[in-house]
Amino acid sequence: MYRIHKEGKKLLLLSAALFSLIFAGLTLLLPNYPGVALGVGGFELFIFLVFLQFFRIPKKNIVKNPLHIIAPADGKIVVIEETEETEYFKDRRIQISIFMSPINVHNNLNPISGVVKYFRYHPGKFLVAWHPKSSTENERTTTVIRRADGQEVLFRQIAGALAKRICWYIKEGVQVEQGQEFGFIKFGSRVDIFLPLGTKITCELNQKSVGGETVIAHLA
């Protein structure tokens, strides 16, 4: 079962109206060349179905567990490494990165429950998502959630070459729930998550993740 995300409804309605007008116009203007209208109409239908796929939201089985870190996005795990987090923690963390391709679901979900202690939006470039500087130079958001026991997890939406708009639905000081939607990246890109050293990682490189369902780590 799927539903259409609110971020895509306007685009889908406008594109359907525009494509219909173009098809009708070609049919009227070129009555002796029906193949032209059919060819353009077929291409328009293909584009519409691509848009529809971008904004689909499937029903998911989200099981909340305070010890689990769940994947914030559908996609492919492309990074698991120890790195320096320079914006908030300013120390060494375990980074897990999930790449969202154009065929993935594009909404983003909270990996844990807690209070939003930090949120920032950073305008920036649109380098390809796997570029080494994309996490620090691209358009992005940074969110930190603090659990009830004081442990904090940082995650970052990062726009890529195709993604030109990041959407978010949270703000500092708000209590959020694990698996609850916190944002959307139009046409995909990447989500990074930064965990404390010593966190038990339960995912692998190149593994496919399902946002809200795949457990990527356990907190102590």
Widest Cα–Cα separation across the chain: 73
108 closest CA partner among 146, 147, 74: 74
Sign of CA dihedral 138, 141, 144, 145: negative
Instruction: Look up residue 208 and give its two tokens.
Output: 């496919």
The SS3 assignment for 36 reads helix
Owner of token pair 């996005």 = 73
In angstroms, what CA-CA distances link 194 with 29, 55, 143?
57, 27, 10
Residues 6+ apart with CB under 8 A from 73: 98, 100, 104, 105, 106, 107, 108, 109, 191, 209, 211
The dihedral region occupied by 5, where left means phi > 0, alpha psi between -120 and 50, and beta the remainder, is beta
- Give the CA count within 13 Å in the CB-facing half-sphere of 197: 8
- Please identify every residue annotated as catalytic: 189
